[in-house]
Structure 1
Amino acid sequence: MAIRMKRRNHPDMMTPEQASHARAILPVAIVKAKTNATQLARDIGSGKDYVRDFLRGRQDSLGVRELQGIAERLDLSVGQILGDEPRELSRVPFNQDDESDRQVYDEDGSLDLAIKLKHRRLAPGEIPERNVVAGLGHGGTSEPVNVDGEVLDGVRAIWKLPIEYIRTELRAREPDLDIIAVDGDSMIPTLQPGDRVIINRSQSAPSPDGLYAIFDGIGVSIKRLELVTGSKPLRVRVISDNKNHGAHEIQIDDLNVIGRVIMKMSRL
């Protein structure tokens, strides 16, 4: 018999991988719970910006008490939020797979890909394409999938780029990257319906000015963000490149930036 050790507890501080996982799953879970980051922070007895600051990367970790409160409010476990569901030590016959390690396929393969991503089975250079349509005029979203009791964004495909290109040209790391498809006409001519964009989730502050994926409480949109110099409190101008669409300003504390757009893939 072989003994397989499972991680059994969570540290007081999140690891970078756990924080990245939490930032990926919490926006989806917040929408499903029909709340928002500000209200969630108040529900757990924290300042109104507590959850938003974490989602934007302004703080590295959630406190133990706050994490437990968020899990209870969103009907999740701490392990589901961290991507580190604890399990007890288990005995597995030698050369036999643990039942929980087996992959499950659905019709479009998105569940299998989500499982692969959850268990960090991506090879170097691989980047997941999330099953989310980034609405260019309206927020886009999709139904998440449930993997081992954990709510995840669906993964529609895995793309592979040369590692050297990711490191030197994109100046990024694979764990920080997602690919999403775009739709709508509000960012024409910069982005066309059907384009793919690569999002760097480690760049969640809206500076320097440029294209960013934002979460508006309903779904994901790609917009051009521009800091309003001299504004107090600091405001951000949210711009559509298509002149037929308007622009508006928002306080930076009310803006939820998922990540910076660092590359687009377009059909000629």
Structure 2
Amino acid sequence: MASLKTTVARRLEEIGKNAFEAARDGGLERNFINDILNDKKKTVRGDNLNKLAKGLNATPSQILTGSFDDMPEADLPSETDVSADLSNVVMLPEYDVRLSAGDGFYVGAETTKREWPYPRFLVVDQLGVSPNKATVQEVIGDSMEPTLSSGDFVLIDMNDTRIGLPGIFAVWDGDALVCKRVERIPGSEPREVRIKSDNPLHGEYRVPEEQVRIIGRIRWITRRA
């Protein structure tokens, strides 16, 4: 998926507008699109996404995916069409960290890297996940094979940190942010948790529960075909 900067720059060239003209036509502040092109603004959501799409003669989904179909001038979306497009979509952030299914990656600055459009019926109605308490993150490594593969993107429900219920979690284990099965060890004193891989070539390890921070439960997997 192309970055917002790349998508906007390409679209401006396609429609023959400069950043100020597109911002004006969309009803945005004068420097809004210039800030995108100068890497000062990496994500856009809500009403600003509507306005950006209007200024670029596109739809919000085209801006988000970076894929533009040829649209005759007469078929350009109205403000009502743009709003309707967003009503069935929720935007989930991907932060500038990676989930290890191997030895782990240290957490960097937790800034939004990009946003993923997901169908609202899937996230809210089917999974029961609150969009403002969810994130999409990349999995790196093979320790969760065959359940998770390196390069998969997982949807994490940050409202669900209940390790008493079986499942796979994004968890800070005291050293790194990892994607593993987590379970309490009964009778351990001080209390410990067991962090397990699905790949039999990788072992499991025990960690004091007080140093573990559960980020959330894995609820959905997006995988390349």
Query: Above 0.5 in TM-score?
Result: yes
* Matched-pair contact (CA < 8 Å) for 2:99–2:179: yes
Match of 1:199 in 2: 156
Match of 2:98 in 1: 133
Q: 2:124 aligns with which of 160, 167, 174?
A: 167
With 212-221 and 184-193 compared, the bigger mean Cα shift is at 212-221
Match of 2:36 in 1: 105
Larger of the two Rg values belongs to structure: 2
* Matched-pair contact (CA < 8 Å) for 2:146–2:199: yes
* Matched-pair contact (CA < 8 Å) for 2:154–2:220: yes
Quote the offset at 1:196 in angstroms. Answer: 0.6
Q: What is the correspondence of 1:175-190 to structure 2 with a 5 Å cutoff?
A: 175-190=132-147
Quote the offset at 1:138 in angstroms. Answer: 2.3
Find the aligned partners of 2:118 and 2:33 in 1 and give their Cα distance: 27
TM-score, structure 2 normalization: 0.60
- Where 2:218 maps in the other structure, the secondary structure is strand
* Matched-pair contact (CA < 8 Å) for 2:174–2:212: no
Amino acid at match of 1:134: L
Match of 2:112 in 1: 154
* Matched-pair contact (CA < 8 Å) for 2:28–2:48: no
Aligned-CA RMSD value: 3.1
Find the aligned partners of 1:142 and 1:104 in 2 and give their Cα distance: 27
The alignment status of 1:245 with 2:175, answered yes or no, reads: no
* Matched-pair contact (CA < 8 Å) for 1:202–1:259: yes
Classify 1:121/1:256 alpha carbon distance in 2 versus 1 (closer, same or farther; 3 Å).
farther
Quote the offset at 1:103 in angstroms. Answer: 7.2
Q: Which has the higher contact order (CA 8 A, sep 6+)?
A: 1
Q: 2:177 aligns with which of 198, 220, 224?
A: 220
Find the aligned partners of 2:96 and 2:133 in 1 and give their Cα distance: 17
Q: What is the correspondence of 1:56-95 to structure 2 with a 5 Å cutoff?
A: none
- Where 1:260 maps in the other structure, the secondary structure is strand
Structure 2 unpaired stretches of 5+: 1-26, 50-85
* Matched-pair contact (CA < 8 Å) for 1:111–1:154: no
TM-score, structure 1 normalization: 0.51
Quote the offset at 1:98 in angstroms. Answer: 9.2
User: Between Structure 1 and Structure 2, how many residues are aligned?
Assistant: 161
